[in-house]
Amino acid sequence: MNLGIIGTGKIVEEALFAIHDMDGINLNAIFARPHSLQKGENLAKKYAIKTVYTDYDQLLDESQVDTVYIGLINNVHYEYAKKALQKNKHVILEKPFTVSYEQAYDLVELAREKNLFILEAITILHSNIFDEMRKNLSKLGPIKAVLCNYSQYSSRYDNYLNKIVDPVFDPDLNGGALLDINIYNIHYCVGLFGKPKSSTYYANRGFNGIDTSGTLILEYDGFTAVCTGAKDSDSPCFVSIQGEKGYMYISGKPNIPQKLTIVSVDNDGSLQKDAAGALQRATNTIEIDSSTSQHRMVDEFKDFVDIIDNNKVDDAMKYMNETLEVMKTIA
């Protein structure tokens, strides 16, 4: 993969740290807006990126990149991704994919028409933990409740309280907790259960109308999924899925799943006493650790290289279709 890096912000710095010495990735170019040229030059020097551009069209036309990674603010994802596709480049697009389902559909259809891939950089889909959740979901029997919480007091929230608005809290730039942090919870639900019958968002809104936190209620046949995301407060983070025959649980930030606990009822129907002397169903417990101790973005980029370099159309379509289902859910 001959990769062009689009942007110079925090997420781009994280991505470069994760991938700079990864097999299969050649860092050919980086795009910086004119006011961020010095940051672009510093990153190019640090990670041995060949050329710095301040003109996006020039990068697409003149560099040798076949793929761009776009790590810009949310409201320009569509514009920059569409231009790259029109110039016959594959696209890796940071979450949230776009700010509307219509934009997402347009990008995916354009990619399909041009036999290109556009892939959302959403880490959980490339984790062995998520794979194990899918494999073991049937052990839980009929699902009865899903609870997801990703709450983390933002380093920029103090600024916001003082009326200093960074992009993540700017409604004009499509910031907010739903798109920035709750999107991971939604991917768990849609990835495991498909598109819900309905969705309703209950937001806590700040002085400029942005959702600083909120809870999305997803209605499925037979159960409800509750997805809470907060940038204005802290809470233990987790993903919990309960069924008639057991449950599975992730403790910690949903975007970096470290361990999955699966508890399922013994098939023989035997009972055992708990610490209080009450009878309860005998269970089996499985604990599955993350298969990587590397940076959280490493596994997704390994998959992106494999998909793009080996033209894995079916894998790409799986990810693109899931992205569309998520965008339908939050539309």
Among candidates 83, 118, 77, which has minimal Cα distance to 99?
77
Each domain of the chain, given as residue ranges in start order, spans 2-122+298-314, 128-289
Predicted local distance difference test score (pLDDT) of residue 267: 76
Length of the chain: 331
Q: What is the mean pLDDT of residues 188-212?
A: 97
Q: What is the mean pLDDT of residues 120-128?
A: 95
Question: Are 118 and 108 contacting, i.e. CB atoms less than 8 angstroms apart?
Answer: yes
Query: Each residue of 156-167: pLDDT tens digit?
Result: 999 999 999 999
Query: Each residue of 305-325: pLDDT tens digit?
Result: 999 999 999 999 999 999 999
pLDDT band for 275, please (50, 70, 90 cuts): low
Look at residue 279 and tell me whether its pLDDT is greater than 90: no
The domain 128-289 is placed in CATH, from the list 3.10.580.10, 3.40.1110.10, 3.30.360.10, 3.30.365.10, at 3.30.360.10
Query: Each residue of 34-62: pLDDT tens digit?
Result: 999 999 999 999 999 999 999 999 999 99
Look at residue 229 and tell me whether its pLDDT is greater than 70: yes
Predicted local distance difference test score (pLDDT) of residue 283: 83
Q: What is the mean pLDDT of residues 212-229?
A: 98
State the Cα–Cα distance between residues 160 and 231, nearest whole angstrom: 11
Look at residue 329 and tell me whether its pLDDT is greater than 80: yes
Question: Are 12 and 80 contacting, i.e. CB atoms less than 8 angstroms apart?
Answer: no
Residues 6+ apart with CB under 8 A from 110: 82, 85, 86, 116
Quick one: fold of 2-122+298-314?
Rossmann fold (3.40.50)
- Tell me what percent of the residues of the chain surpass a pLDDT of 90: 92
| Helices vs. strands in the chain: H and E counts, helices first | 11, 16
Q: Which CA distances in Å does 56 have to 72, 75, 281?
A: 12, 16, 61
Question: Are 168 and 160 contacting, i.e. CB atoms less than 8 angstroms apart?
Answer: no
- Concatenated DSSP letters of 215-253: EEEEEETTEEEEEEEESSS----EEEEEETTEEEEEES-
Predicted local distance difference test score (pLDDT) of residue 157: 98
